[in-house]
Chain A
Amino acid sequence: MNAPSLALVVVVVALVAVGVYLLLERSLTRVIIGLVLTGNGVNLLLLVAGGKAGGPPLTGQTPPEDMSDPLPQAMVLTAIVITLGMTAFLLAMAYRSWQLTGHDEVQDDLEDRRVARRAALDRAAYEDVDAGTEPESLDEAAAEVHDETGDVGGRS
């Protein structure tokens, strides 16, 4: 009876899907774009929750049964402002990360690094020691074992 537009639903699905894909990336910039897209998708979902669009909800101007629901619109406005603020903060963080490390990739957490070090230690045990490979530090080995970003070295 009060069905929302199907087009909006499709847009919500598309935005959230693309957003989640980008969220899984390592680069903070892409994560931010992913969060913005997902955020907009969810905001749109909130709008869809209000039901069919109607006239402006002012008594005297629109008959009550033709009014659109003003409450979700007020909530969406709040949510948009919040998303904007958070995006600004995240961008500042990405910039600071770039200032400090020269890239904006989300780095491993300490526990991951430690697990990777153990894995590197284990690998050394069954590798051929006489193969003539350059002896590398444990941290470099850990980075090689774990890092998904591809470029080994050059990071702290």
Chain B
Amino acid sequence: MTPQLGWLVPLPVVLPLFAAGLALALWRRGRAQGVISVVALSLALGASVTLLVAADSGPVVAELGDWAAPVGINLVADRVSTLMLTVSFAVTLAVLVYSLAQGVEDDNAETPVAIFHPTYLVLTAGVADAFLTGDLFNLFVAFEVLLAASYVLITLGGTGERIRAGTVYVVVSLLSSLLFLAAIAVVYAATGTLNLAQLALRLPELDPGLRLVLQVMLLLAFGIKAAIFPLSAWLPDSYPTAPAPVTAVFAGLLTKVGVYAIIRTQTLLFPGGQLDDVLMVLALATMLVGILGAVAQNDIKRLVSFTLVSHIGFMLFGISLSSEAGLGAAIFYVTHHITVQTALFLVVGLVERRGGSTSLDELGGLAKAAPVLAVLFFVPAMNLAGVPPFSGFMGKVGLLEAGVADGRPLALVLVVGGVLTSLLTLYALVKAWNKAFWQPVPENLRPVRLPRRMVGSTAVLVSFGVIIAVLAGPLYGYTERAAVLLRDRGQYVLSVLPDGQRGEGHSADTTRDPSAQAASTPRDVTGEGVTP
């Protein structure tokens, strides 16, 4: 327990929000805005890294306004959330540098700084809040914050194509938010609380049928955000039209926030894996349908978007095993996928810049024309496909091992499906490589110099993906410990509600509800997380 670090927990949310206001106020000074954004995100990254180290010895809890937990809203930084937080801030910082360079190059045509920077900072604040929050309604607010920012970013500039793609994206996202809100209403009606720790105590007392309804409603809402197969059709159509840095950060973070919400609610609120079989089937369908879509594409941006859908299936695979090995591998996979998918979208942005198109038919000969770009594409592409020295390979091996260890027939089918998906990913990306980087150089290829800072920030992100592979040992250990913590719900509940009733903040004791007094103590939950 490190209570003296509690003040650090809100910083990853507060700093970007504060900076967003400041950046908006200074909308005439583009350079100042850039400095503000970089400084705010760097500080938030620093805070996240500190929390990452601190959370390894126990969850760090902050009660906002010092209101005691079930009444007040709390932020909980445990192993999973701080790991997600650190990776996401590292990625957003790299993308910010990329977009700054692009803004300077293009005279801000693609990313008008006055709007872009405040919105981008609000997006990162929303993502951070979603990772940290310990309250279901606050999770909804965090989703709305990041979605509202994403609506602005995806329609940036308001061109016809972006409005067309944005319309679908906005309407689908709003619908998922409404589903989430309805789920919150039913959860509150059934349990009288929205604090995640208190829900973990009260949900087991509910009727199993009602609990299943709640689980399905929440899964549906998060499934749309995470782009799980039958609910994924919106993604490959809306992402590719946005500017490259925006697509990159969306692809890296927004779907993963949905995956994180699924991990959190499935482990903390609904342990026991009632829906595991359904999740397994969905994981298989997501992997296969997604990758078959990617194989059929002839536009490199859409191709990469489809691989994104497909690889969400891998994370769902790990979650659906509901074992420590599966969950640990899934968290490792999320970490790997955030960096590699973002890097790949940034590289595709550079490819579009250099080759003048995203259609694989019109691209060609880039390996000769831009060898550095070829290396930058090749590394994350192979990483995504899961070719051995890289982190994608380790994540996939972890998942496959967990699947084989599980031993159920459906899990074994998923193992085969996972291998098949990896091969098809390799096929799709090699096809893209062959068409865009080999082939004769097209005659009308204009000599474009790629801005050094854009290449530099992409290179940093690509090498970050490689570093994950180098540090895979300690990182994998961390994700496994995170998975153990997730499955041991008692520790989470105890750190939020030390006596099983209230948090450590100060608020007058007004609960006279006798049922609350009779509620089970955390000791009862400790054993329940582990299923035989």
Contact = CB atoms under 8 A, between A and B. Distances in A.
Interface of A: 23, 28, 31, 35, 38-39, 42-43, 45-46, 48-51, 59, 64, 71-72, 75, 78-79, 82, 85-86, 89-90, 93, 96-97, 100-101, 106-107, 109-111, 156
Interface of A is mostly: helix
Contacts of B171: 23, 31, 35, 90, 106
Contact of A42 (B158, B170, B182): B182
Chain B facing A: main interface SS: helix
Nearest to B512: A64
B465 interface: no
A95 to B, nearest CB: 10
Interface residues of B, number: 33
Contacts of A111: 236-237
A109 B161 CA distance: 10
Interface stretch (B55-63, B79-87, B183-191, B488-496): B183-191
Contacts of A38: 175, 178
Contacts of B158: 96
A94 B306 CA distance: 28
A106 B168 contact: yes
Given A89-B151, A93-B163, A100-B163, A48 B168 contact: no
A32 to B, nearest CB: 9
Contacts of A72: 185, 188
A23 B163 contact: no
B174 A86 contact: yes
A13 B283 CA distance: 33
Contacts of A107: 164, 167
B525 interface: no
A75 B138 CA distance: 10
Contact of A46 (B166, B168, B170, B185): B185
Contact of B178 (A39, A48, A109, A156): A39
A124 B181 CA distance: 48
B383 to A, nearest CB: 27
Nearest to A45: B185
B167 A46 contact: no
A147 to B, nearest CB: 14
A46 B178 CA distance: 11
B181 A89 contact: no
B377 interface: no
A97 B166 CA distance: 10
B387 interface: no
Nearest to A31: B171
Nearest to A49: B189
A42 B163 contact: no
Given A39-B178, A64-B512, A75 B160 contact: no
A101 B184 contact: no
A110 B178 CA distance: 27
Given A42-B178, A78-B141, A86 B148 contact: yes
Contact of B237 (A45, A85, A109): A109
B406 interface: no
B182 A101 contact: no
Given A78-B141, A93-B170, A111-B236, A23 B185 contact: no
Nearest to A156: B160
A28 B189 contact: no
A97 B167 contact: yes
A111 B233 CA distance: 10
B214 to A, nearest CB: 12
A89 B151 CA distance: 8
Interface in B461-515: 510, 512
